[in-house]
Amino acid sequence: MADLSQEEWTKQLEADENAIVLDVRTQDEVAEGIIPNAIHIDIFKGQGFIYEVEELDKSKNFYVYCRSGNRSGQACAIMNQLDIENAYNLLGGFNEWQGDVAYNE
């Protein structure tokens, strides 16, 4: 797991053709906006989160975020335990996100 600043995370993500953006916030938080093309798996699902993460392609590089960077850090640690080697935590989370935001209809 690597903690990346907003700038590092964005720069690395833009150059990564094997990337998946993962949002681990709650559904209510996602309703306030999401980083475009992110997939959503709520870390508060507990075991359900683990089941969904285990279904992901472990060869991908995962760029993980939550509201502030705490839950996404935990998610990255869990993902590492599940044999996902490349999980990158967005420091400051969605609160400090400066990039594009999508809104689900």
pLDDT one-digit tens code per residue, 2-29: 999 999 999 999 999 999 999 999 999 9
Counting Cβ atoms within 10 Å, is residue 37 exposed (0-12), middle (13-18) or buried (19+)? exposed
Cβ atoms of 37 and 48 within 8 Å: the answer is: no
Alpha carbons 46 and 94: distance in angstroms, whole number: 21
According to the model, what pLDDT value does residue 1 have? 79
pLDDT tens column, 58-105: 999 999 999 999 999 999 999 999 999 999 999 999 999 999 999 965
Query: How many beta carbons lie within 10 A of that of residue 82, not counting itself?
Result: 13
pTM: 0.95
Which of 25, 32, 31 shows the shortest CA–CA distance to 49? 25
Delineate the domains of the chain, giving CATH numbers in brackets: 2-96 (3.40.250.10)
The residues carrying an active-site annotation are: 66
Mean of all residue pLDDT scores within the chain:
95
Alpha carbons 98 and 80: distance in angstroms, whole number: 27
